[in-house]
Structure 1
Amino acid sequence: MVCTPTSLTMKLTHDDIRQHNGRSSCWVAIHGNVYDVTDFLSSHPGGANVILRSAGKDASNAFDSVHAPEILNELPETALRGQIDISEAAEVDTESNKEEQIDLKPAPLQTLINLNDFEEVAQRHLPDTTWAYYSSGADDEISKHNNARSYSKISLRPRILRRVLSVNTATTILGFPTSLPVYISAVGIAKLAHPDGECALAAAAGKEGLAQLLANGSSFPIERVMKSRTSPTQPIFQQLYVNKDIEKSVEVVRRAEQAGAGAIWITVDSPVVGKREMDERLNLSISASDSHEQGQGVAKIMASFISPFIDWDILTWIRGITDLPLVVKGIQSVEDAVIAHSHGVRGIVLSNHGGRSQDTAQSPLLTLLEIRKFAPQLIDSDMQIFVDGGIRRGTDVLKAIALGADAVGLGRPFLYSLSAGYGEKGVLRMIALLRQEIEANMVLLGVSSLDELRPEMVNASRLEKHMIGSVKL
């Protein structure tokens, strides 16, 4: 049943709501409607404590920062207990719900000339908690930084006098044409960066001809994001974390199918959440006086539903509930790349979760070199190979493609481009800058299309020395 008010809805006061401020009875006011969410506490994907912060209070700001309005329709009709005058609701512990203020005077978009500029803007303008959630890596953040450093250890070997009159950056991802060998990686709760969140990403992706991977923890339901596309053929894929409650994973897959998603990308590199200390430390400082809080970072709270009890048989299970193409996201060794191929998946993503799961895990680019050396047959197989983590320049993209990747994913840069009020325009600017760098460096390399990129166009010897000496396949 849809949880919507009627003419018979009870009128409530802030005193009525304040009486229901704990686990045994938890009410919240959202835009004038009062909901009893007591029974929902244990199943909330972000954990009960997130809701308990607003127990007996007005939760409108907290709700809007993460969720789309449609999510309220998933509550049972009986959850709606009444209505409260919006002006009165705003008086319910207004100070405790006060949002961190964001400077609404960002730098003009035309003054941002590379992806790193967007990151600097985001750090200045995003609330501290959001910045910590988006940017943090695990432990000492060695893997996070090595992801980017690995690209600097590879040199380009341009060919001259090639007479490149124009360049073609088009490719296909799982059979879908894209204008660049780049896709939007799964980025959770993008609404924290901009109210339009994943919908703004979809709109920009459509205009620029990119594919988008929708996060399992998207701020907006997939049906809403699909409506933001610029054409019905625009590819959007669905990320899947296997839920401890397997039926909820079934629901994710079913909804993705019905909405028109092009594939399921199962994420396997984070069965437990990495220790993201910046995220956790900031949450500790904020929640020190809150008896409901236990100092968990946003990431740990949001990922509390993920099941660590899965193995390769999960691929068979997924095939039993959908005919959509399957991609395994989170391959970190050549051995597992070979196993994934033997299971007939359509693609793999070489990824260490952006350095957010296990610190000191090797960079995805190093895993790509492993595949080239020990299992080169995978490079030209019918299984596509994608790489994410640390990509910030057009040269990074071209290095990965030259070494055998079919496309690369970027996550954090797309979130940063949404921030400071930029929204869709910021995303379009970011994509345009990356496109310019890719096109210019293709000319400098002496190639007119992506399929002309070859391993001999890069010198990877400085990175290869970090590669494992032998493997048993």
Structure 2
Amino acid sequence: MPSRNEVELHNSHKDCWVVIHNKAYNLTEFAKEHPGGSKIIYKFAGKDATNEFSKFHPPDMMDRFLKKEFHLGSTETIQPNSCKTRMEAIPRPPLSSILNTFDFESIAKEVLSPDAWAYYSSGSGDEITLQENHQAFNRIFMKPRVLVNVKKVDTSVELLGTASALPIYITATALGKLGHPEGEVVLTRAAGTRGIIQMIPTLASCSIDEMVAAKLPQQAQWFQLYVNPNRNLTIDIIQKAEKLGVKALVVTIDAPQLGRREKDMRVKFENDAPDVQATESLSRNEGAARAIAHFIDPSLSWDDLKWIKACSNLPLILKGIQCGEDAVLAAQAGIEAIIISNHGGRQLDTSRSAVEVLQEVTQALKHSKLENALEIYIDGGIRRGTDIFKALALGAKAVGLGRPFLYAMSSYGQRGVEHLIVIGLNDRIYCAKSLKLP
């Protein structure tokens, strides 16, 4: 068992030991190939990197990907930096005073660290698509009817055979521990308590095992997948998710490469550790592109859907449809559901808003006589109950929210996430009654 003093001696780029979760690792060679660049590893040479590691990776990451010869064994605890969250340190208004998603966003901006805020809030390029996602809803106007009995309003819905209390689900978002020390399991617990579906992300800070273990017995979860260049690894992941009991497989298809999220890139550059290896490039774009290339296959095509479907008996959802033509192809391929999405404005800037594409998709499917072939969901820019209602009126069966749930979790933890779901419920009922729709 390496002692604390022994670990501290290995503190250079030529001899780099790091402690993670009370286990020591020799990362001297791995640092050169680390997808996120070597600097972040060298910053913790001879130190405990548990807090930083946990923001980005599930706890079993080292066991799965680092060669056993570099595992040095358990070690006595090296005191890490204080993990007291900004959420605990920064005063916030009472949760009861939070009325909408924008309130959560404004508090999260103060609570989150600069790098976490940049990562969660950033869009690609000039962030035109990011802004348009919500602004497009504001250009759609309501047509209320009158003298309709709306004493009772049913907000429940069935998504691919799974009941949900609302036509809302928590969509997949990465790196939950940037916002809360418990990460995505906070979202799991809140979704279970309030009866909605959580989409488990591939790039979560928590493992799929942790999120499944945190759910209630009858709670439904979907699993979001980035198809890995290693087909065998992808098959293993899909089959593990099915064995753990998820109800659907969601394949992300709109990110063959990383979008240029300049706000996020700039903060990462400014916060970089000193250049301890003079030969390392300072290009943030190169480092990020290398990182995503490790787990996303840019060669993914329509032909791959056959073997993906054959891996399991799970319903298949395609996340990232952005035009009517592709929606028709998905229906013809036997896909059970699609999610109209532009990755929250984080991929190709100046892509159309999701709600604009929704209208095109419903028309294209109807024209091809495929309107009943699959279920349609949408995400991106949904911030009000009226946005949810407009999406449903235009043909979506449910909507996904990502950033709002991250902001609620970062600001108030599980209570905040549950409060946001209640806001969605109340807004849904208010819209139905105002428009005179039962």
Same fold (TM over 0.5): yes
Cα deviation, 1:96-151, whole Å, max 9, x if unaligned, reads: x9998553422221111111100001001100000000000000000000000110
Aligned equivalents of 1:138 and 1:324: distance in 2? 32
- Alignment gaps of 5+ in structure 2: none
Partner of 1:62: 52
Query: How far apart are the structure 1 equivalents of 2:247 and 2:56?
Result: 25
In structure 2, how many angstroms separate the alpha carbons of the residues matched to 1:213 and 1:42?
33
Decide which of 317, 329, 347 is 2:337's aligned counterpart.
347
Check whether the contact 1:287–1:295 (CA below 8 A) recurs between aligned residues.
no
Alignment RMSD: 2.5
- Report what 1:212 is aligned to: 198
On the 8 A contact 1:352/1:361 being kept in 2, the answer is yes
Cα distance per residue 1:297-325 (max 9 Å; x no partner): 79657534222111111101202322211
State whether residues 288 and 295 of structure 1, in contact with CA within 8 Å, keep that contact through their aligned partners in structure 2.
no
Contact map agreement 1:136 1:278 (CA 8 A) in 2: yes
Output one character per residue of 1:56-92: Cα deviation in whole Å (capped at 9) or x when no partner. Answer: 3221221233344344543565544245443xx338x
Q: How many residues align?
A: 430
The CA distance in 2 between the partners of 1:203 and 1:62, in whole Å, is: 24
Q: Cα distance, 1:205 vs. partner?
A: 0.6
2 CA distance for matches of 1:80 and 1:295?
Answer: 30
Does the C-alpha gap of structure 1 residues 346 and 44 become closer, same or farther in structure 2, counting only changes over 3 Å? farther
Residue 280 of structure 1 contacts residue 295 of structure 1 at CA under 8 Å; is this kept in 2?
Answer: no
Partner residue, 2:109:
123
Q: Which amino acid aligns with 1:167?
A: V
The C-alpha deviation readout for 1:329-372, integer Å capped at 9, x for no partner, is 10011011111111000011111111000000011111111123
d(CA) in 2 for partners of 1:318 and 1:144? 30
Among 303, 306, 309, the alignment partner of 2:292 is 303
Cα 1:134–1:263 change in 2 (3 A) is same
1:415-455: per-residue Cα shift (whole Å, max 9, x none)?
001113x211110011111111111111111111xxxxxxx
Q: Measure the CA separation in 2 of the matches of 1:45 and 1:200.
A: 27
Q: Is the 8 A contact 2:189 2:214 kept in 1?
A: yes
Q: Is the 8 A contact 2:16 2:42 kept in 1?
A: yes
Name the CA distance, whole Å, in 2 between partners of 1:437 and 1:210: 16
Give the aligned partner of residue 280 of structure 1: 265
Alpha-carbon distance in 2 for matches of 1:328, 1:372:
16
> Percent of pairs identical after alignment?
37
- Aligned: 1:290 with 2:275: yes
TM-superposed CA distance for 1:51, in Å, is 3.2
Q: Which amino acid aligns with 2:284?
A: Q
Q: 2:250 aligns with which of 231, 243, 265?
A: 265
Provide the TM-score with structure 2 as the length reference.
Answer: 0.91
Aligned to 1:139: 125
Query: Does the 8 Å contact 2:39/2:274 carry over to 1?
Result: no
Q: Of 210, 224, 233, which residue of structure 2 is paired with 1:239?
A: 224
Report Cα offsets for 1:211-257 as digits up to 9, x if no partner: 111111011111110111122x3211111111233333222212211
User: What TM-score do the two structures reach when normalised by structure 1?
Assistant: 0.84
Q: How does 1:91-240 map to 2 (within 5 A)?
A: 103-231=89-217, 233-240=218-225
Name the SS for the 2:271 alignment partner: helix
1:34 partner SS: strand
Q: Does 1:395 align with 2:391?
A: no
Distance 2:107 2:183 in 1: 17
Change (3 A) 1:165 1:331: same
How many angstroms apart in 1 are the aligned matches of 2:288 and 2:211? 22
Counterpart for residue 384 of structure 1: 375
CA distance in 2, matches of 1:44, 1:238: 26
Q: What amino acid does structure 2 have at the position aligned with 1:242?
A: V
**1:38–1:325 distance in 2 versus 1, CA, 3 Å:** farther
Secondary structure in 1 matching 2:190: helix
SS at match of 1:238: strand
Secondary structure of residue in 2 paired with 1:447: coil
User: Separation in 2 of the partners of 1:379 and 1:155?
Assistant: 27
Instruction: Give 1:374 shift.
Output: 3.4
